Amino acid sequence: FGDWQQTSASETKPETPITLGFSQLGKESAWRVANTASVQEAAAESGIRLVMKNAEQSQKKQFEAIRSFIAMKVDVIAIAPVVESGWEEILREVKAAGIPVVILDRSVNVKDTSLFVTTIGSNFYEEGVKAGKYLLDRLRHLPGPIRIAELQGTSGSAPSIQRGEGFRSVVSARADMTITQSAPADFTEDKGRAIMRGFLQAPADQLPHVLFAHNDDMALGAIDAIEEAGLKPGEDILVLSVDGSRRALEQLAAGKLNAVVECNPLIGPQLMQAAKEIMAGRTLPKRMVPPEDIFTQERAAEAVSGRKF
Ligand code: AHR
């Protein structure tokens, strides 16, 4: 797991295929669609039998899916958890059934970390820190007050909580920089557009100078709303987001986004490798984080060409 670029899911083919039950949380964003495809492709390449259920943003549906995987006696269960809390009981059921668990993408908040083998996914706090640092640097010569609007992701989800905390930990260095508007928009483009329309109803002297959207889809919706209001995204309102989808990088190259913090959805091969290592009885690190970067306008056009999602 040391080298994410060179990790291949098809290194060894087990004689008896491993069955992996995967509870995916939904299909809210381009990131999620790419993540699902990455898991499906990596399973096919590595000869792992994948049983995937999509929970459409419902933790209850995730519990149902996990219980069905227990009944099927799958070898390994992977969970991309919609929210951080409420997982103890179901994870205890899986442990009692003797099935190892891999947490994928978002983290769970449980006291007993023996309930899962490993978490494979991004450092969301660090992503928020990167967005905050970009902003401090970009506005270092601009006197305050600076008003920031924030489009949060799904309430209670690890990326929304941790990106918000990481961002605040940095921008709090400037007392004249304030988050004046903040609301959840569920990581979707439609809600990003609708909530941003609401933010832009503020009196002229209260309008935001900056938008921090917790993902690209919400930022893309918000860009529409900013243009509808007769303002220029990227100039009148600086726009920062997280993920690095092709559409967002195109808008970055066009000057309508100012910075996009990378969050890598293509972690299917790492999940398959983890399943194989677990079945081979090997010990895995408790946390595996892909290397990630930040895209700015200067690098956007070059980044678009090789983008996979
Ligand atoms: O958990 C990862 C986040 O979930 C991505 O940033 C977002 O686009 C997705 O919906």
Q: Which of 279, 292, 202, 274 is nearest to 42 (CA)?
A: 274
Q: Average of pLDDT values for 264-285?
A: 98
pLDDT in tens, 90-106: 999 999 999 999 999 99
> Within 13 A of 20's CA, how many CA atoms are on the CB side?
31
Identify the DSSP state of 194. Answer: H
Give dist(CA 87, CA 110) in Å, integer.
7
Query: Mapping DSSP to helix (H, G, I), strand (E, B) and coil, where does residue 79 land?
Result: strand
Quick one: pLDDT band at residue 306, thresholds 50, 70, 90? confident
Instruction: Give every CB contact of residue 69 below 8 A, 6+ residues apart in sequence.
Output: 21, 23, 51, 77, 99
Answer whether 233's CB lies under 8 Å from 257's CB.
yes
Mean confidence (pLDDT) of the chain = 95
Quick one: pLDDT band at residue 12, thresholds 50, 70, 90? low
Instruction: Give the rounded percent of residues in the chain with a pLDDT score beyond 70.
Output: 95
Q: Which of 199, 126, 206 is nearest to 167 (CA)?
A: 126
- Starting at the edge strand found earlier in the chain, the sheet holding 101-104 runs 49-54, 19-24, 76-79, 101-104, 118-120, 287-288
Q: Average of pLDDT values for 119-134?
A: 98
- Beta strand pairing call for 259-262 and 238-243: parallel
Q: Would you say residue 56 has pLDDT above 70?
A: yes
Quick one: pLDDT band at residue 11, thresholds 50, 70, 90? low
Supply φ then ψ for residue 67, to 5 degrees: -65, -35
As for ligand 1, residues whose beta carbon falls within 6 Å of it are: 28-29, 31-32, 105-106, 159, 187, 215, 242-243, 263
Show the beta-strand stretches assigned E in the chain: 19-24, 49-54, 76-79, 101-104, 118-120, 146-152, 177-184, 210-213, 238-243, 259-262, 287-288, 294-296
Query: Mapping DSSP to helix (H, G, I), strand (E, B) and coil, where does residue 150 land?
Result: strand
- In the reported structure, the alpha carbon of residue 278 is separated from the centroid of ligand 1 by a whole-number distance in angstroms of 26
What's the confidence (pLDDT) of residue 7? 46
- In the reported structure, the alpha carbon of residue 153 is separated from the centroid of ligand 1 by a whole-number distance in angstroms of 8
Quick one: pLDDT band at residue 16, thresholds 50, 70, 90? confident
Query: For ligand 1, what atom is nearest to the CA of residue 106?
Result: 1
Q: Would you say residue 6 has pLDDT above 50?
A: no
Identify the DSSP state of 115. Answer: G
Q: What is the pTM of this model?
A: 0.94
- In the reported structure, the alpha carbon of residue 155 is separated from the centroid of ligand 1 by a whole-number distance in angstroms of 12
Q: What is the CA radius of gyration of the chain?
A: 20
Task: Write the ipTM.
Answer: 0.99
Residue 181, token pair as written in the block? 């508007």
Ligand 1 mutation pick, 36, 105, 163, 267, max ligand atoms within 8 A of CB: 105
Ligand 1 mutation pick, 215, 240, 292, 294, max ligand atoms within 8 A of CB: 215
Give dist(CA 200, CA 180) in Å, integer.
12
- In the reported structure, the alpha carbon of residue 258 is separated from the centroid of ligand 1 by a whole-number distance in angstroms of 19
What's the confidence (pLDDT) of residue 147? 98
pLDDT in tens, 216-229: 999 999 999 999 99
Q: Which of 212, 131, 124 is nearest to 162 (CA)?
A: 124
What's the confidence (pLDDT) of residue 236? 98
What's the confidence (pLDDT) of residue 27? 98
What's the confidence (pLDDT) of residue 4? 47
Give dist(CA 309, CA 306) in Å, integer.
9
Dihedral Cα 114, 109, 3, 290, nearest 10 deg: 170
- In the reported structure, the alpha carbon of residue 123 is separated from the centroid of ligand 1 by a whole-number distance in angstroms of 12
What's the confidence (pLDDT) of residue 265? 98
